[in-house]
Amino acid sequence: MPTLFERIMDGEIPSDQVYEDEICVVFRDVAPQAPTHVLVVPRTPIQSLADGLNAALAGHLLVVANKVAQQEGLSDGYRVVINCGADGGQSVDHLHVHVLGGRALGWPPG
């Protein structure tokens, strides 16, 4: 069964895509928690951060997160979040990196 994010990347489910390369795709979150809220999603459907992410892919996702943050004009800063598993609040079982910005974000998270 393809994951929800594979179905988005295949175009079966529409999305507002802001970036893509051979390794990952970035699209806007359907339920944004900040003025800018995008998801950096590897094309390979790794379930979570706890499931075999390698250093090269992890690094690429972070480099792309910063690239898109600059593209989105987040010059005052931004936050990168990876929710992992049930306690981490992960709801889609396809690894993804949240990039949030456009307002001052609170800390700690709930």
List contacts with ligand DGP (CB under 6 A).
4, 8, 13, 15, 27-31, 39, 83, 89-92
> Which is closer to ligand DGP, CB of 31 or CB of 75?
31
Residue 67 burial (C-beta neighbours within 10 Å; 0-12, 13-18, 19+):
middle
> What's the closest the beta carbon of residue 5 comes to ligand DGP, in angstroms?
8
In angstroms, the CA 21 to CA 25 distance is 6
Cβ proximity to ligand DGP: between 92 and 105 the closer is 92
> 60 catalytic, yes or no?
no
d(CA 68, CA 12): 23
Tell me how far, at minimum, the Cβ of 45 lies from ligand DGP, in Å.
13
| Catalytic option among 37, 94, 96, 98 | 96
- SS3 sequence of 37-65: EEEEEECCCCCCCCCCCCHHHHHHHHHHH
- Residues counted in the chain: 110
Distance CA 24, CA 56 (A): 12
Minimum CB separation from ligand DGP for residue 48, in Å? 9
The nearer residue to ligand DGP, 11 or 75, going by C-beta atoms, is: 11
Catalytic residues: 96
